[in-house]
Every structure is written in structure tokens, then in C-alpha cells.
Amino acid sequence: MSIVANSINADRRVHGWCALCRSRCGCISIIRDGRLTAVEPDRDHPTGRSLCAKGHAAPELVYSADRILYPMKRTRPKGASDPGWSRISWDEALDTTASQLLENARQFGPESVAFAITTPSGTAISDSIHWVERLMHAFGSANNCYGTEICNWHKDVAPTYTFGTGVGVPDLDHAGCILLWGYNPNGSWLAQAQRLADAKRRGARTIVVDPRRSGPGVKADQWLQVRPGTDGALALGLAHLIIAEGNYDADFLRRQSNGPALVHSKEKRLLVEADLSRNGSISACVGWDQACSAPALLGRAVSTGGSLPDWLLEGEVEVDTLNGPVVCRPVFDHYTVMCKDYAPSKVETITGVPAVQVIETARLIWASRPVSWYAWSGVGQHTNATQTARAITLLYTLTGSLGRVGGNYQAARLPVPDLSGLALRTSRQRALTLGLASKPLGPPKDSWCTSDDLYRAIIEADPYPVRSLLTFGANLLVSHAGTRRGAEALKMLDFQVHADLFLNPTAAYADIFLPVNSPWEREVLRAGFEISPQAQSWVQLRPAVIPSRGESRDDGWIAFQLAKRLGLSDAFWGCDQEAALREYASATGLSLETLRANPQGMNADPESIQDASQEVGFATPSGRIEIWSETFRTHGYSPLPDYVEPALSPVSRPELLAEFPLVLGSTKPHQFCHSQHRNLPSLRRMLPDPVMEIHPDAARARDIQDGDWVRISTPSGSAHARARLNVWLRSDTVMGQHGWWQACEALGKPGYPVLGEHSANFNLLVDDMEADPISGSVPHRSGLCQVTRLAKQQDLEELEGTGIDPSSAQLQQTNNL
């Protein structure tokens, strides 16, 4: 039923979508003689206009000789250069895993078992992450070392402290101005990049903030080349100009934000009703009604229409409180004064963006409203990331575009059940997430722990011991900072199980390896493709286009099988995955049978779609957009997002400049899924070696030619890469790449050890001792470094590959058993 016959060449053409990244591009898989031979765009699909090289490389991924096709156990000690992998049955693999986890839980509590799940934004775990999370929640584990602070937290969670929601969906079809901040959709979200190009063609103006000129930055109306990590100062400077020129939506601020809320001048907190009357609320904010010359309760946000008090936004008033008269100023006034400190000249000094460009951009934002906005890792991978994210959300608030046509909106929801099982978490479990004490508003609030906190728990049993780890596709040693500590921690675990298509350096420490199939070998149900209202209502049951190779299975099947052995059937539909899918599908108004008969996907029943637009700005403590965050204040953080230098910058650490004079940022090579797939020839051919981009002037000063091997050194370590000259970079900034470890035998391209002299591991360069105080983000994109040309270029080629895959020959034998 899921197959469309092609009468000309008798190929089978199977509808689906590529699950390898957040774009989830609609595609058609071509099957010839039972083999996947090609993948094409499905242009009738809401995300199917084109595919990137990764999607087109699907046949190479599926049939890669490097895939592990059978469960394995190690037979040699952890840390041995050859784990001595030995093929075992699924029953042995799953039974061993379940009994180890139960034994750890019995001795040390279920929190002694942690998970590390790779990212659904850039890998195929997006097909199954909900099932793995459900397993974690049902088992009682308190920790998923997920890397959210490296990836999405600063766009999806940090804005909740301002808006009560994440960044939402930019209405690219109607936006007059599109602001992209530290985000290149060409490399991270192809379907959104296409809509952006459409918007540009119809005349939308684009503003791109990025230290590196790439993607939409190339043709942007304004490309603002910030020094890495100084984005917060730029946001405050733009806000200053918008306010100073009166180009902000005052009516929106009065109705929707806590800008009018009065701040107690002595106690530096919001004035509340309890300050004015004995039985008053201790949380209800107070504004100043100019018409009555009196304080009044601000109340929750009100949308357009109707009358509202003439709230004071700027100035000073004296308010009679129960403790006597208190001088107060509105929140917006405090924000204005803070922003005033970021005049264009100062912004230029801090960020490197010319003052005149800051002025032009501020005017463009206002003149070309409504504004849509999106940000990603370029904002998040710094030690000041959370307040930077807040500064950007406040700048956006000034435009009054949030929730309006052409602005950002919350995607409509389908009333599908939460498969990840958040409700299964107990309060004890939530309280035990590692790092919650030091980062109470950060990722640990949602059961996500940082690798730093995980390693501490494993190595030092602080605050409690973690003894087992389930790594689903994760590659902690290459994707997170602190590689040395990570290797030490993995070696100390009682037990590690790794589920994946391929071995990786993190899997090399596992006791059990579980072989995962590719997205083309599994059936998956998805509701919602995000980029537009039509895409968001799209529901699709993607069939397996070929049988699973060997004994590989999908992560969801593994979660269900482990749940059965761990006594968690009740939380897993009696361990009947079909029953779970049936319940999920029915919430969209569509049955599994209907979806199987329509593998191209279809719109959900319109009756089932829930409009979330009315919720914008409401899910904060005040029920308003919070320019001033009392939540931050009561936790010891600044309630307004004043700018703080990155922890390792030329300004904050001038004593390091003699040895490390360059600013080190990083980029994600769009040819690969993070640290995966460098073994696939068509992709590796496009980017054969790790690259570090450097300005020609900086290269010349170091006798570096384009293509030379160089060593990047930081106070934390060193790694090597090939130099690529980039005239569009600042001359004091270089850009590395993360994720390099894997060999590509077909091209004779070597792998790299994750540690040591010949490593190309970018994370050896990153200081994991400095972190954002709220989110725990470490300086992946704003450190200090020196770059030197390697004297023996030829020797380096010969030395490569010294640490990788010593057991590849043995793996081949294992697969052939």
C-alpha cells in the first residue's frame, strides 16, 4: 500500500521524509531489485522541495560496510585499544542490560542510571527520541545528558523567561523583516532556508548577525559581523536606538509586557499589591496610571481593543506604600537606561560592528515591520548565552510583532499524547537531576544535565554516584567539552550500553552495543512538520522502504524491549508499540489504516488542530512578556539582560593575548550530521579534512598558505586542521569545526584520535570550567587561541589515523558471523 509503482523502469517509489535533521525533508525513496538506490525530493510534501547531500547519500548510509548489524559485547577491559567485540543475541544483549540497570537501581537508586541521547535536530534519533525519553522517565532516571545547552536551549527555553514560550515559528510568508541571529538555515534547516529565499524574492528585508558570512548572510540587507560572544551588546545597542528614536510599539508594551510595572527603587524589585494594602497579593505587579495619577494593578496581558489605563512607561513617581513613600520607575524606564549605555560607538568598540551599520539596522528593523526572528547555536555557545538570548527577545518585543501576522507565532498543536512520558516523572526524580542546585533555571529543570555534571557524578559520586549510562547515538567525547574527563568517566562506569548504526569513540567504552537501523528501514509516525501552518498539520506514517539490515532495529523497538524486561509494561501500552501508534494517530482524527494507505502524508482533521496563538506571552508568572524577570532576580541573576563579556575573550582575559591572540569560534560542517557520516564517500569527498578558516592577513602573519595543516592551541589543549583562507572573517577571529574522528576507507581518508597530538577534536580546545551561570553553556564559539603552521606537512598526512577504529577488521568479521 505504501508503494507507488513506476511503470517505466519498475522501480518502486516510496514516500517518506528524511529524518537526518530538523528539516525533515519530504522525499521519495527509489528501490530497485530490493535495494535503496536513490532518494529524491517529494515536491508535493510541505517540506519536500529539495534534499541536501546528506539526504542524497542515504544509500551509502544504509549499505555502509561500517555499520554494525548485530548486538555485541566487549570481551576486553574498558580503555583497551581493542574492546574485543563479540557477537551476541538480542536476548543476551537486552537481558544483560536490564539486569545491570536493575542491579544499579537496587543498590544506588534509579538515579544512578543516566542517559545520553543525541540531538533530534541533527540526527535520525528524531524518529524515536520520545520512546527513549519515556524509558528514562519510567525507569526513574533523573538525567539525560542531551547537549541542549549546546544546541537548542537558548532558543527554545531561555525565551520562556520573557515570553512564556520558545522562539516559535517565524511567519516568513508575511514578514517584512527577517532577523536571523547566529543561525544559518542553509546548513541547519533546508526547508526553512527555502521559505526564506521565497520571502526574500517577494521583498522581505533580511538582517543576519553572524561572525562568519555564510548562507543568508551573503545576500542580506544587513550582515552584522559581531565578534563572537558579543551579541548581547549588539542587541542592547539596537534597542537603545529604537527607543531613542521613538520607534517602538508603546501600545504593545503597555498591553502585553511588564514594561509599565513599577520597580521599588531601594529594594530593586517589582512593587506588588502587598506593598500597598495589607491583604494584597505578593505577586501582583503594580503600574502607574497617568490619567489617575495613582498606582493600579497591572494585571495580565490584554490583546488589542478596549481601553486600558494610560500606563507610565518612562519617568519617576512617588508611591505611598505601607512602609511610607517609595520612589519608583517603570521596568521599561530601567530597560531604557540600561540600553542607553550602549551607544553606537560603544557597540562598535565591543562588537566590531560599525556604528553606522548599527544605526541603519535599527532603522531597518522598525521601517520594515512586521519582524520575524530566529536564532540558534551562534547565540547559545557562549558563557553569557542566556542573557544574550534575553536581550534579543527584548529587542524583538519592541517591534510589537510577536504573535501578529508576519511575526513569530506558536505552532498550532495536535492533541496527540506526550509519548516522551513527562508525566511519569516523580517529584523526587525531578529534584535529583544533576546540576539542578547550581542551575535551577537551566536545563536541569527539565531533566537535562550537562556533561560536566555527569562526569562529576561518575568520577566523584558528587552529589550521588552514576554507575550506568545508556548512550543512544551520543558521542560525548567528540561533541562535548571535557574530552579527557569524559574518557576517564566512561572508563569508570559499571556499565554502558550504546545504541547506534556505527561504533564511535564513545561507544568504544561500552559493555554492550545495540545495532540501530537507518530511517529507511523503519516505520515511523509523525504529526507536524513545523515550518508553516500547513506543514504543522501534516501527518505521515513513513513506511520502512527496505527490511532492516542484519539484526539492526530502531531505537523505539529497543526502548519497548527494555521496558518489558524492566517491568515497565504499564507505561508502554503493555509493550505493544502498534497500540501506542494507534492512540497517537487517532488524536489527529486519522487512523493508522488511513495513514498506511496514504504514505505520502495528509492533513490532520482540522477539527483536531488547536490554535496556540492566544497563548503567546501569557505563560509567565505575570502573564505578560517579562522585560524584567523577577524569577531571575529571586534566583540571584540580573532581572535585566545587561551585557557581560564572554569568559575567555580579549577583553576579559587580556593577560592571555600574548600567547593566544586570536578569537576562536566554530561552525557546523553542513556536509555531515554532527560527528557522524564522515565515512560516507560522497560526503567526505565534499569535505575531506577538518578545516579551520582564517583571514588571509592573519594567515600571512603566520606563514600559513591555504590548505596547510595547522595546529590550533588554546589554554585547554590543541587540535589540528587544514587552513582555509576566508577574506570575510575578522582578521582576529578563526573558525574551527567540531565532530572530526571518523575515517573513510573508500577514499583513503584517515580518522583521528579523540585525544593526543594527532587529534582533530575541536572539543579539546574548549574550556569546560567556564560556563553560563544559568544554562551551563561552555565557550564553544568564543575562546582564545593561537594558530601555527605545522612544520612537517607531509609527515602529518602519514601520521593521521593513528587512533581510530583499531578493530575495524574485527568488526567486519563480527558482522559476517
The binding site for ligand SF4 (CB under 6 A) comprises 18, 20-21, 23-25, 51-52, 54-55, 190
- Select 52 or 710, whichever has its Cβ closest to ligand SF4: 52
- Residue 716 CA to residue 734 CA, distance in Å, equals 16
Q: Which H/E stretch holds residue 236?
A: helix 231-244
In terms of CB distance, is 188 or 336 closer to ligand SF4? 188
Shortest spacing between CB 52 and ligand SF4, in angstroms: 3
Which residue, 25, 7, 190, is CA-closest to 542? 25
Shortest Å distance, C-beta 53 to ligand SF4: 7
Closest C-alpha to 736, from 756, 711, 716 = 711
Shortest separation between residue 22's beta carbon and ligand SF4, angstroms: 7
How near is the Cβ of 227 to ligand SF4 at its closest, in Å? 30
Buried b (16+ CB within 10 A) or exposed e, 582-619: eebbebbbbebeebeebbbbbebeeebbeebeeebbbe
Main-chain dihedrals φ then ψ at residue 665, nearest 5 degrees: -110, -175
| Cβ 511 to ligand SF4 shortest distance, Å | 31
Q: Strand 718-725 vs strand 691-694: parallel, antiparallel, or unpaired? A: parallel
Q: What is the dihedral of CA 186, 191, 193, 194, to 10 degrees?
A: 120
The distance of closest approach from Cβ of residue 738 to ligand SF4 in the complex, given in angstroms and rounded to an integer, is: 17
Nearer Cβ to ligand SF4 (52/424): 52
Distance CA 324, CA 327 (A): 10
- Looking at the Cβ atoms of 158 and 545, the one nearer to ligand SF4 is 545
- Whichever of 491 and 668 has its CB closer to ligand SF4, that residue is 668
Which residue spans within 566-707 are E strands per DSSP?
602-603, 662-667, 691-694
Residue of minimal Cβ distance to ligand SF4: 55
- Report the residue number, 152 or 733, with the smaller CB distance to ligand SF4: 152
Nearer to ligand SF4, 29 or 104 (CB): 29
CA distance 377 to 205: 22
12/18 Cα distance (integer angstroms) = 17
Q: Minimum distance between the CB of residue 124 and ligand SF4, rounded to whole angstroms? A: 9
Least Cβ distance, residue 21 to ligand SF4 (angstroms): 3
Our CB check for ligand SF4 shows the closer of 40 and 697 to be 40
Gap between the Cα atoms of 704 and 788, Å rounded? 8
Taking alpha carbons only, the member of 212, 254, 243, 226 closest to residue 362 is 243
Task: Tell me whether residue 405 is exposed, middle or buried, using C-beta atoms within 10 angstroms of its C-beta: 0 to 12, 13 to 18, 19 or more.
Answer: exposed
CB of 599 to ligand SF4, least distance (A): 17
Cβ closest to ligand SF4, residue 356 vs residue 686: 686
Residue with cell 527539565: 446
The CA distance from 814 to 800, in Å, is 26
Nearest to 91 by CA among 529, 449, 553, 404: 553
Helix (H) or strand (E) holding 718, with range, is strand 718-725
Q: Do the beta carbons of residue 191 and residue 47 sit within 8 Å?
A: yes
Comparing CB distances to ligand SF4, the nearer of 45 and 722 is 45
Kindly state the smallest distance separating residue 531's Cβ from ligand SF4, in Å. Answer: 12
**In the bound complex, what is the minimum distance in angstroms from residue 147's beta carbon to ligand SF4?**
18
650 vs 69: CA distance, rounded Å: 49
- Under DSSP, the state recorded for 748 is T
**Identity of the residue, 57 or 69, whose beta carbon is nearer to ligand SF4 in the bound complex:** 57
DSSP H/E element including 409: strand 408-409
Query: Which C-beta is closer to ligand SF4: that of 520 or that of 752?
Result: 520
Q: Give 23 or 119: the residue with its C-beta nearer to ligand SF4.
A: 23
Task: Enumerate the β-bridge partners of residue 632.
Answer: none
The SS3 assignment for 410 reads coil
Instruction: Work out how close the CB of 85 gets to ligand SF4 at its nearest, in angstroms, rounded to a whole number.
Output: 29
Which of 165, 540 has the CB closer to ligand SF4? Answer: 540
124 or 664: whose CB is closer to ligand SF4? 124
- Over its C-alpha atoms, the chain yields an Rg (Å, rounded) of 27
Rounded least distance, CB 150 to ligand SF4, Å: 19
The grid cell for 808 is 575495524
- The H-or-E segment that residue 181 falls in is strand 177-181
- Residue entry with cell 497617568: 290
| Residue closer to ligand SF4, measured from CB, 51 or 710 | 51
Q: Is 513 exposed, middle or buried (0-12, 13-18, 19+ CB in 10 A)?
A: buried
DSSP reduced 3-state for 642:
coil
As measured in angstroms, the least distance from the Cβ of 680 to ligand SF4 is: 12
Nearest-approach distance from CB 282 to ligand SF4, in angstroms: 49
Beta carbon of residue 23, minimum distance to ligand SF4 (angstroms, whole number): 4
Specify the DSSP class assigned to residue 766.
Answer: S
**CA-to-CA distance for 103 and 109, rounded, in angstroms?**
9
Which amino acid, residue 373? W
Cβ(183)–Cβ(378) under 8 Å?
A: yes
Distance CA 655, CA 649 (A): 10
